[in-house]
């Protein structure tokens, strides 16, 4: 399985639009491919890159996705929610995290905050 994970240069997990790096955990090769994220600033642009990298699943925390990026990936990726905050923690606990893999996410995982006026 190829699992996408988004993070910054210090390997802290980040929402799609804040991620400097897209990592692909390739379980078959037992390695993490790292790509500079050309979609910084846009969750949809980052998701487009992730989909082009032939991934099977994505590691997510609340608010990592938005409705647009979720709809782009729905049916094409599975989702792996996590409470971990770093790439190192994800890799150390990957087998445990994968048990939570889902075909769809609860809305609060990708809903955007509504600004009140």
d(CA 69, CA 25): 20
Average pLDDT over residues 36-58: 97
Is residue 56 over pLDDT 90?
yes
Question: What pLDDT is attached to residue 36?
Answer: 98
pLDDT grade, residue 115 (50/70/90)?
A: low
Please state, in angstroms and rounded to a whole number, the distance separating the CA atoms of residues 19 and 113. 19
Span 47-59, mean pLDDT? 98
Q: Could you give the count of Cα atoms lying within 13 Å of 28 in the half-sphere of its Cβ?
A: 4
């Amino acid at each position: 399985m190829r699992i996408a994970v988004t993070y910054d240069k210090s390997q802290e997990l980040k929402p799609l639009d804040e991620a400097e790096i897209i990592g692909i955990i390739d379980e078959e090769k037992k390695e993490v491919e790292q790509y500079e994220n050309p979609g910084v600033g846009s969750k949809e642009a980052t998701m487009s890159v992730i989909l082009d990298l032939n991934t099977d699943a994505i590691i997510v925390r609340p608010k990592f996705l938005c409705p647009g990026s979720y709809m782009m990936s729905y049916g094409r990726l599975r989702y792996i929610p996590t409470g971990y905050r770093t790439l190192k923690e994800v890799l150390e606990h990957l087998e445990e995290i994968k048990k939570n893999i889902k075909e769809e996410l609860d809305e609060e995982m990708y809903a955007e905050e509504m600004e009140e006026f």
